[in-house]
């Protein structure tokens, strides 16, 4: 067939996500603010980038062969991306998922053909029930399997060094002054920061962490403090261990955000910007608000924030009035979503 404008498959849609100016949630702040909206990837998150990059590298090195099994730990997004790539490349996919992951995410993983093992969220990383240890055990038990291990995989950083960083640099015409990003595995912020700082060492890289996570304390002291660990609600942000996929030397500072503030800001992005993005995107935007209040930005600042995923994965959480009320986050008389009118 001639002159048909089509992609070979959905994997060709990964990357080159848009940079969108934030106009309303940044009212009163100094600087110009732009969101790198990763929900425009076909799997609706930044994790598409690492899934395709790591699997391609494993194939290139002969580690991954036709019919093999891919095993991974995930809060949901990486798992979805790996499942998507596995479908098109003919691999079996087994995922160890945190029980903190939304029901929406778990259902989507199953819909993509993945075998899902849901593991308790609030146990130590070395507990045999943790999703880290369950994935390791499955890798030992399943013949012909590879374990992606995104928290300790240099390729996680490399994927963003070769894609997200160059895209942001080109999209801002080299004018970016600040990068703001959440840190979970650390691959997104580290790889993007590494590339950007090679172009301009003066770019400030600002990380977002959660209360209940050890990341900020480790960045400041290089000490792992178990006293920092306690349960929190945000998925894909912070950690109860120190991932080697986080290059702390590329990050200038961290700030912590609360579950409640991040939830409200996630909903605010939908209502004020028309950006239906996920909980960690709200956390990243909340971090910008707090940095702005501290006077980190000025009129000449060009701030790029990475919004990691899509809001559809949080319908049972931050976009649910019932869930918000159950967490004590919401005054239903003031903040509830518009009602639905059924015509009979």
Active centre residues (catalytic): 47
Q: Which of 279, 297, 84, 326 is nearest to 204 (CA)?
A: 297
Half-sphere exposure of 204 (CA within 13 A, CB side): 13
Q: Which of 69, 66, 74 is nearest to 43 (CA)?
A: 74
Q: Which residues contact 192 (CB under 8 A, 6 or more apart)?
A: 160, 161, 164, 165, 168, 179, 181, 306
**Which residue carries 């996929």 as its tokens?**
245
Q: Print burial letters for 25-43: b (CB count within 10 Å at least 16), e (below 16).
A: bbeebebbbbbbbbbbbeb
Secondary structure of residue 305 in the 3-state scheme: strand
- CA-to-CA distance for 200 and 267, rounded, in angstroms? 34
- CA-to-CA distance for 263 and 265, rounded, in angstroms? 5
- How far is C-alpha 79 from the geometric centre of its chain's CA atoms? 12
Half-sphere exposure of 182 (CA within 13 A, CB side): 31
């Amino acid at each position: 067939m001639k002159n048909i404008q089509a992609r070979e498959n959905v994997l060709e849609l990964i990357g080159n996500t848009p940079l969108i100016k934030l106009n309303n949630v940044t009212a009163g702040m100094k600087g110009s603010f732009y969101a790198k909206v990763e929900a425009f990837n076909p799997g609706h998150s930044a994790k598409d980038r690492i899934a395709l990059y790591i699997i391609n590298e494993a194939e290139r090195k002969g580690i991954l062969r036709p019919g093999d099994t891919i095993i991974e730990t995930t809060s949901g997004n990486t798992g979805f991306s790996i499942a998507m790539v596995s479908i098109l490349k003919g691999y079996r996919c087994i995922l160890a998922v945190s029980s903190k992951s939304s029901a929406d995410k778990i259902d989507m993983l199953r819909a993509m053909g993945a075998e899902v093992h849901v593991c308790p969220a609030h146990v130590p990383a070395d507990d045999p029930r943790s999703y880290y240890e369950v994935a390791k055990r499955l890798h030992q038990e399943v013949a012909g399997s590879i374990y992606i291990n995104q928290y300790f995989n240099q390729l996680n950083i490399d994927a963003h060094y070769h894609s997200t960083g160059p895209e942001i640099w080109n999209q801002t015409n080299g004018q970016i002054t600040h990068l703001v990003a959440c840190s979970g595995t650390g691959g997104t912020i580290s790889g993007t920061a590494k590339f950007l700082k090679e172009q301009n060492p003066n770019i400030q890289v600002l990380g977002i962490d959660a209360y209940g996570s050890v990341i900020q304390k480790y960045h400041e002291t290089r000490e792992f403090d178990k006293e920092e660990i306690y349960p929190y609600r945000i998925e894909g942000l912070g950690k109860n261990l120190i991932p080697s996929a986080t290059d702390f030397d590329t990050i200038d500072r961290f700030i912590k955000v609360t579950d409640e503030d991040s939830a409200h800001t996630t909903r605010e992005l939908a209502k004020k910007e028309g950006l239906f993005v996920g909980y960690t995107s709200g956390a990243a935007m909340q971090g910008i608000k707090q940095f702005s209040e501290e006077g980190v930005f000025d009129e000449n600042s060009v701030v790029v924030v990475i919004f990691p995923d899509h809001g559809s994965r949080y319908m049972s959480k931050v976009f649910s009035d019932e869930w918000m009320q159950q967490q004590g986050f919401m005054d239903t008389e003031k903040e509830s979503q518009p009602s639905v009118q059924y015509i009979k």
